């Protein structure tokens, strides 16, 4: 059988395995400091905690892989207000990721503070087994 007839079936078969063995790795910069956040696949997004970035932002990268359903990649950014977190930005990306450039599959994202005029930058990539590049 010609290889081009087999290739689509191999790609479909590899997709769940790729999701299971990959991690979402996000590079976040705010106030001159950069940190790396990692998110392994989870069956439900509700248990994923947000990470405080500085004194104002919270960021929550989610790599959802429910049993029997397609994976999804979402990055939530919140303002950490006295009354509780306030959503500022939600980015959603289709699975499987088709392109990862210099700034991963998200491209360079910027989220601005509505109160202090600061800026948070982030970009995310998928890495096999969570290995950072």
Tokens matching residue 38: 């990692």
Tell whether 77 is covered by a domain: yes
pLDDT exceeds 90 at position 17 = no
| Residue 133, in any domain of the structure | no
pLDDT, tens only, 1-10: 554 444 343 3
pTM as predicted: 0.79
What tens digit of pLDDT does each residue of 60-99 get? Answer: 999 999 888 889 999 999 999 999 999 999 999 988 888 8
Burial of 91 (0-12, 13-18, 19+ CB in 10 A): middle
For residue 85, tell me if it sits in a domain: yes
Structurally, how many domains does the chain consist of? 1
Assess if residue 16 is contained within a domain. yes
Q: Could you tell me the residue range of the domain that residue 35 belongs to?
A: 3-128
């Amino acid at each position: 059988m010609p290889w081009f007839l087999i290739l689509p079936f191999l790609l479909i078969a590899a997709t769940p395995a790729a999701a299971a063995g990959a991690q979402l790795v996000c590079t976040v910069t705010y106030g001159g400091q950069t940190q790396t956040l990692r998110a392994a696949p989870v069956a439900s997004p509700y248990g994923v905690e947000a990470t405080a970035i500085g004194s104002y932002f919270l960021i929550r990268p989610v790599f959802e892989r429910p049993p029997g359903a397609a994976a999804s990649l979402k990055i939530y950014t919140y303002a950490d207000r006295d009354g509780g977190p306030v959503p500022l930005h939600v980015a959603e990306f289709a699975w499987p990721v088709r392109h990862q450039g210099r700034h991963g599959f998200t491209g360079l994202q910027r989220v601005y503070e509505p109160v202090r005029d600061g800026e948070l930058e982030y970009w995310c990539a998928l890495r096999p087994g969570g290995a950072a590049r």
